[in-house]
Amino acid sequence: MQAFGYVLAKDVGHAVALLAEHGAKAKILAGGTDLLVELKHAVHNPEILIDISRLRELKAVVVADDGLHIGALATHADIMSSPIIRSMFPALVAAAHSIGAMQTRNLGTLGGNLVTCVPSVDSGPVLIALDASVTVAGAAGQRRMPLPDLFVGPRKTSLKPGDLLVDIVIPKENLGKPAAFEKFGLRKGQALALVNIGASFWADKDKFTAPRIALGAVAPTVIRAPKAEAFLDGRKISAEAMAEAGRIAATEAKPISDFRASADYRRDLIAVLVKRALASAQTRATAKEKELVA
């Protein structure tokens, strides 16, 4: 590991100014769970680390006029303990709980997990299934883009030198939308996903409305399954429909064979996990209906 400089950012504006000054020579330090490992093995080390870990404005979890805002520095443990997220989106809690060990969840941040852009990222599928967007700050100001646009390829993000991920936004119209997360790895804990799934839909008169299915670890980035979604949209909710959506989603993926699993095995997992995720989302929808009646 080569020597590098270090600056503690005072606020978001200061962090953006430092990024604009140093460009590609700078790296952001948030939770550090990925970065510190990377620094030990990187061929080209950064010249400076910009520490944003103490920027409290990036840790908030709040409901605003346009939806739920989750600060980029919210840790996985913060997500698991947030009363707002636990009430609205238990699927996000489940996804956070599946990430690493307790120490990683206490330090690792949602923003850091997303910008690693690994295909098996556990926080991505549910957020994409909820039509989440991200807010990015740069020298020209702030802009918002759909979360899938952040992912370019394995460990490749669309963020430019000088950009800082500020928060993740689930739109107002999706607040409380029934959603589910499913993951399969080679062991129960601290495992990379062979396949992970996010699914959501509104139950309108016993029919699927606005279904979303997101697939992780089966393509260069987390992807949607638009054909499976189109099959479900407006269709009567049933186990048979969920199973068929799983089979369709499996045809939309582009899994690879590696030392952990074959492509065919991953396709089989997609079919099973999509069905499970949709069934879990239905359970959530039924529970919400009972809450409203009560």
26-85 pLDDT, tens digit per residue, is 999 999 888 777 777 665 678 899 999 999 999 999 999 999 999 999 999 999 999 999
Instruction: Give the model confidence (pLDDT) of 1-16 as tens digits.
Output: 677 899 999 999 999 9
Sequence ranges of the domains in the chain: 5-51, 57-174, 179-289
Instruction: Give the model confidence (pLDDT) of 147-164 as tens digits.
Output: 999 999 999 999 999 999
Q: Options 3.30.390.50, 3.20.20.70, 3.20.190.10, 3.40.190.10; which CATH number does 179-289 get? A: 3.30.390.50
pLDDT top residue among 167 and 187: 167
Q: Which fold has domain 57-174?
A: 3.30.465
> What pLDDT does residue 44 have?
65
Q: Which residues contact 169 (CB under 8 A, 6 or more apart)?
A: 66, 67, 68, 69, 70, 132, 133, 134, 135, 144
Q: Which fold has domain 5-51?
A: 3.30.43
Number of H helices, E strands in the chain: 11, 14
Distance between CA atoms of residues 220 and 218, nearest Å: 7
Do 5-51 and 57-174 fold alike per CATH? no
Q: How many residues does the chain have?
A: 294
> What pLDDT does residue 38 have?
76
Task: Give pTM, 2 decimals.
Answer: 0.94
Q: Mapping DSSP to helix (H, G, I), strand (E, B) and coil, where does residue 94 land?
A: helix
Does residue 293 surpass a pLDDT of 80?
no
> What pLDDT does residue 36 have?
75
**Strand pairing class (61-64; 48-51):** unpaired
